[in-house]
Chains A and B, each alone.
Chain A
Amino acid sequence: MTDPAPQSPQIWDPFVRLFHWLLVVAVTGGWLLGHFGPLQMSWHFYAGYLVLALLVFRLIWGFIGPRNARFASFLRGPGAVLRYLKTLPARRASQSEGHNPLGGWSVAALLLVLAGQVGTGLILDPEDYINTGPLAGYVSSEWSRWALGWHHRLGLLLAVLVAFHVGAILFYRFWKREDLVTPMITGRRR
């Protein structure tokens, strides 16, 4: 070892990174179990509870976490988003400090859809008497039915948003030659 390389600043704090990868596991697992899992959906439920816990953490962290984790720092106005959009086709790294103005809103969209997915999952009733949402008994059957329909639709929307998310990472990697994955693992740019 020679001199320690000058470290680039930390972009993602350890909790954001842990949150992100646990969310990947919970959402992927929950989605696959929901579509292809056993008829008795206990593990789908557990995945959902993990998503719920992660969302609660992320909501709190969005107010008290480090700068890049805070909603106030990454949810930008339409002007900032438009300015960023204009730079998007350029073949150079964005070098955004944290979420870029567009990515910030994509994070918000993902979190909102996940919140909807958890909420509808808790109160839905598929009328199979083995996979009833744990809170279905507290709402009317009309609401449980409505929730069932939306749980299904939001699941499809979630797949689309995740595809955009992964697509964006590939776009940055191969078009803009910017590695977004390493910072989510180590916290820093390579």
Chain B
Amino acid sequence: MHKILFAALPLALAFGAASAEPMQSIEARQAYFKALGGSMKAMGPLAKSFDAEAAKAEAAKLEAVLATDTSTFFPAGTSDADFPGKTRAMAKIWTDMDDFAAKGKATKEAGAELIAAANAGDGAAFGAAFGKLGGTCKACHDDYRLPE
């Protein structure tokens, strides 16, 4: 299932980037976060009991996800107010765009730490970076995503 997700990702992203259609931006970012979540889900068990080889393999996938150009993901007019039921992105994102962007940056930075720890085969650093990356998910969800 992951394979399909990762294969479909560039397609969805290219689609989103090629067009300014709001629904396509929404779908593109959802594909991105889904891939990111899938990567996190696969790494969760490794954060608990480290396996250097598996971590390295997952890190490579995460690196591919995080390399995505996310700059086109949140155009104005794509909040839950514009597309209720289609997205849970709160309108607050666009009024607090600086903070939102900083939180997105924090995710990418924590992700880079996680990848570095995996490649270094450092289990303790991997666990810590995983917690940090999860924290950046939560920080953004708390402020900018509708609970349901």
Q: Are B135 and A40 in contact (CB under 8 A)?
A: yes
Instruction: Tell me if B138 is interfacial: C-beta within 8 Å of chain A.
Output: yes
Alpha-carbon separation in the docked complex, A79 to B136 (Å): 53
Of B130, B133, B138, chain A has the most CB atoms within 10 Å of the CB of: B138
Q: Are B148 and A129 in contact (CB under 8 A)?
A: no
> Which residues of B sit under 8 angstroms from A145, Cβ to Cβ?
148
Instruction: Tell me if A39 is interfacial: C-beta within 8 Å of chain B.
Output: yes
Q: Number of B residues whose C-beta is below 8 Å from A?
A: 18
Instruction: Tell me if A57 is interfacial: C-beta within 8 Å of chain B.
Output: no
Instruction: Tell me if B37 is interfacial: C-beta within 8 Å of chain A.
Output: yes
Query: In the complex, what residue of chain B is closest to A38 when comparing beta carbons?
Result: B135
Alpha-carbon separation in the docked complex, A38 to B147 (Å): 19
Query: In the complex, what residue of chain B is closest to A148 when comparing beta carbons?
Result: B147
Query: In the complex, what residue of chain A is closest to B140 when comparing beta carbons?
Result: A128
B residues 61-119 in Cβ contact with A at 8 Å: none
B residues 124-147 in Cβ contact with A at 8 Å: 130-131, 133-139, 141, 146-147
Minimum C-beta distance from A141 to chain B (A): 10
Minimum C-beta distance from A125 to chain B (A): 10
Instruction: Tell me if A131 is interfacial: C-beta within 8 Å of chain B.
Output: yes
Minimum C-beta distance from A31 to chain B (A): 15
Minimum C-beta distance from A136 to chain B (A): 11
Q: A39-B138, A39-B139 are in contact. Are A130 and B147 (CB under 8 A)?
A: no
Q: Are A126 and B141 in contact (CB under 8 A)?
A: yes
A residues 39-53 in Cβ contact with B at 8 Å: 39-40
Question: Beta-carbon contacts of A132-158 to B below 8 Å, as 1s and 0s?
Answer: 000000000000011011011000000
Q: A39-B139, A40-B134 are in contact. Are A129 and B44 (CB under 8 A)?
A: yes
Alpha-carbon separation in the docked complex, A40 to B131 (Å): 7
Minimum C-beta distance from B82 to chain A (A): 20
Alpha-carbon separation in the docked complex, A152 to B139 (Å): 15
Instruction: Tell me if B41 is interfacial: C-beta within 8 Å of chain A.
Output: yes
Minimum C-beta distance from B86 to chain A (A): 15
Alpha-carbon separation in the docked complex, A151 to B44 (Å): 23
Q: A148-B147, A149-B147, A152-B147 are in contact. Are A130 and B141 (CB under 8 A)?
A: no
Minimum C-beta distance from B79 to chain A (A): 18
> Which residues of B sit under 8 angstroms from A151, Cβ to Cβ?
147
Minimum C-beta distance from A95 to chain B (A): 44
Q: Which residues of B contact A (CB under 8 A)?
A: 37, 40-41, 43-44, 130-131, 133-139, 141, 146-148
Q: Which residues of A contact B (CB under 8 A)?
A: 38-40, 126-131, 145-146, 148-149, 151-152
In order of increasing CB-CB distance, the 8 nearest A-B pairs are A130-B134, A149-B148, A39-B135, A128-B137, A128-B138, A129-B40, A149-B147, A152-B147
* 26 contacts across the A-B interface (CB closer than 8 A): A38-B135, A39-B134, A39-B135, A39-B138, A40-B131, A40-B134, A40-B135, A126-B138, A126-B141, A127-B37, A128-B134, A128-B135, A128-B137, A128-B141, A129-B40, A129-B41, A129-B44, A129-B130, A129-B134, A130-B131, A130-B134, A130-B138, A131-B134, A146-B148, A148-B148, A151-B147
